[in-house]
Amino acid sequence: MWNSFLINVKTSIRNTSSLFWVLAFPVILAALMLGIMGNLQDGYTAEAQHFAIVSDANWKASPGADELVSSLSKKPKAGSDDTRLLIPTTVASKAEADTRLDGRKDIGYLYAGPDGLVNMVLSDREAASIQSDSTASEGITVSILSASLGSFNQANAARSTLASTNIRILVQSGEQTYTKQIRLTHIHPSMTAPYFFAVLAMACLIGASTAAEMIARTQPNLSALGARRDSSPSPKRRQAAGAFLASWLFSAASLLVAYIFVRTVCGVQTGGRDPIALIAIAVGTFMATAFGSMMGAIPKLSTETKVGLVIAIDCTLSAFIGLYGSLAMDLNNAIQEHAPIFHLLNPVKQVSNLFYDIVYYDSLAPFARTCGILAIMAAVFLSICGLLLRKQRYEYL
């Protein structure tokens, strides 16, 4: 078995076609994805915007207004998830603020009304731009700012109500905090990460073509090499096991290279879970190798046909996990919401879920569940492969 393993490893390294499709192509595809999707994350990121602050009598009478602007305009510390929303400029009146809007120095201004509530005014051009594209950085910033002002005004209104009924309640609760910030994901979500996970999943299943080719070489009716191997004293199961292990090693090493490229060059973060990602690579490529072995064991098909089928199936299933752009990602989300059983049966999707589970879930339970699903898939594929290889008989070679 180990002699067969070493021979298959050397053959894979010398096979230029396998080196390109299994090793180089995923890296090239990830680089293309980086060029296409590089600005997508920026489109969903809030950026600080220039606003004028009307510091008149109403503003000075509004409790906490200056503190609100200070907190929204404070630069975040390094490594913090906080976002700066405002680049403020203090003016004395609304007329001066309107003049700055006309001169395109600011996109809007904040002022306080007689009731003490803080209001926001946007220029007509910015309002029209945000309405046409709410995912732009200005739209994201204005949306967050509007929600912040709403919370601020609601808190001020509640304080006024409490103060008018019982001043002691207001004093006693003034320094207490009744909210707690939580994070639902392991790390800050990235809009582009699912696309790169789809690339890794597709690359994983491309490795199945190597297993299909190696298993096909053990069949004596497909090549002269298979005939010579069949006449050797080594049992067929040992030859198949050696081919399986060699293919698994080659696929895992190739996917590891693609993963390192995605992590370092493409900037996809895992929140310190890289060791778990190595387990994901091992589990995913094991399933892919089992799938390729099953395809390679199909009788009466040429080696080229088997490899072509593996790649065709991989590319087809990748269309349902968001690999081919935003429309494909919308289809992926729709399937997950309305027909999750199809994703459950899609091996490419399950490999993608391995990396998704690592990054987005604070618990490792979803990752363990996905590993279990892939283990079941691998067991089914290997069982079918064993049955196909056992039942093959040759009248002559």
Averaged confidence pLDDT in the chain: 84
What's the confidence (pLDDT) of residue 162? 62
CA 177 to chain centre: 34
Residues 6+ apart with CB under 8 A from 92: 54, 55, 56
Q: What is the mean pLDDT of residues 120-149?
A: 79
Residue 232: pLDDT band with limits 50, 70, 90: low
What's the CA gap between 354 and 349, in Å, rounded?
9
What's the confidence (pLDDT) of residue 39? 58
Share of the chain above pLDDT 70, in %: 81
Tell me the domains of the chain and their CATH numbers. Answer: 2-38+192-390 (no CATH), 43-173 (3.40.190)
Q: Are 52 and 99 in contact (CB under 8 A)?
A: no
Kind plus residue range of the DSSP H or E element containing 368: helix 365-390
**Predicted confidence (pLDDT) per residue in 18-65, tens digit:** 889 899 999 999 999 888 776 555 555 678 899 999 999 999 888 888
Q: What is the mean pLDDT of residues 88-94?
A: 93
Rounded to a whole number of angstroms, the CA Rg of the chain reads 30
Share of the chain above pLDDT 90, in %: 47
Q: How is residue 397 written in tokens?
A: 């070679």
**Predicted confidence (pLDDT) per residue in 205-226, tens digit:** 999 999 999 988 877 666 655 5
What's the CA gap between 39 and 234, in Å, rounded?
56
Q: How is residue 288 written in tokens?
A: 């892919």
* Residue keyed to tokens 């404070």: 74
What's the CA gap between 297 and 390, in Å, rounded?
10
What's the CA gap between 95 and 381, in Å, rounded?
74
Paired strand residues for 121: 109
What does the chain come to in residues?
397
What's the confidence (pLDDT) of residue 164? 62
DSSP letter assigned to residue 77: P
What's the confidence (pLDDT) of residue 110? 94
CA 73 to chain centre: 30
Residue 230 has pLDDT above 70, yes or no: no
What's the confidence (pLDDT) of residue 396? 45
